[in-house]
Structure 1
């Protein structure tokens, strides 16, 4: 891949449009997360973390505290404090499901999961509709593109993190 200065590169209208739409999705998703936080009566950071835990558990791939820490972009210490709050408020369970009893798995409590599901029932209708209306081929194209964008952002993050530790 050739190096490009994003500030002086001559971007096509389609490329600019995609970047704007990615930004718009991030803004819209953040707003939805704020609504979830209000619904759950939690600070936004706690609601975001709980949402990550619920999605992962529902997908059958529950998170460890370290995985959640990485997804949230928080230190492990800050994540532990956040998890302590969620556990004390009755939203989260830490279990040891692996043969390696040191490995902690994060699960939402049934009541918390059900409360979040009621929110999604109210708030997720339009998004679910768009997903259902989109052809499998278009979904695969979008998923592949977003995967490449995520990979690029992860690569940049790794490079920037490494440059700070030198």
Structure 2
């Protein structure tokens, strides 16, 4: 790792603008999640968790409770309470699909998946239009850059997770 002090580096206007646009996307995504919560009639944390479960399941990589805890920034105990609420409300179910019977897999119920898809069909129009209109080369550049910035954030989170607080 190269030692760089992000507070003393002279950033270009373009680099600063990229950070602003990434922040704007994060804020917009958070607001979309709040709308999903209202749509699903769930607290924000529950909607965030359900969204992560649906997204992972749709990608063919269903989550375990521990993976969900990390993604939503909650302790495993708090995540268990949240999952109990989602399961009681009929939004998720836990199963043991792995050869390791101790591993729990989280899946959205068909009704929760359908309701989340209804939301995406309604709420995702502008994003779908923007992605559909993007030039393939533009998308390749964006994918490459976002992969790098995501890896950098993951590395920072890993380092911070293993650093003692002063």
TM-score relative to the length of structure 2: 0.93
Residues 8-54 of structure 1 deviation map (CA, whole Å, 9 limit, x = unaligned): 32111110110000000000000000000000010101000000100
The aligned residue for residue 37 of structure 2 is: 37
**Aligned residues between the structures:** 166
Tell which deviates more after alignment, 76-85 or 12-21: 76-85
Q: Provide the C-alpha distance between the structure 2 equivalents of 1:2 and 1:67, rounded to a whole number of angstroms.
A: 29
Shift of 1:95: 1.2
Q: Provide the C-alpha distance between the structure 2 equivalents of 1:157 and 1:61, rounded to a whole number of angstroms.
A: 21
The aligned residue for residue 57 of structure 2 is: 57
Shift of the 163–94 alpha-carbon distance from structure 1 to 2, 3 Å rule, reads: same
Give ranges in structure 1 of 5+ residues lacking alignment: none
Shift of 1:165: 6.7
Shift of 1:128: 1.1
Shift of 1:131: 1.4
Q: Which SS does the other structure have where 1:36 is aligned?
A: helix
The aligned residue for residue 152 of structure 1 is: 152
The aligned residue for residue 75 of structure 1 is: 75
Residues 70-115 of structure 1 deviation map (CA, whole Å, 9 limit, x = unaligned): 1112211111111111001111011112222221111111111111
Shift of 1:136: 2.6
Q: Which SS does the other structure have where 2:106 is aligned?
A: strand
Q: Provide the C-alpha distance between the structure 2 equivalents of 1:2 and 1:165, rounded to a whole number of angstroms.
A: 21
Task: Please tell me the root mean square deviation across aligned C-alpha atoms, in Å.
Answer: 1.6
Do structure 1's residue 85 and structure 2's residue 96 form an aligned pair? no
Shift of 1:120: 0.8
Shift of the 165–13 alpha-carbon distance from structure 1 to 2, 3 Å rule, reads: closer
Q: Which SS does the other structure have where 1:101 is aligned?
A: coil
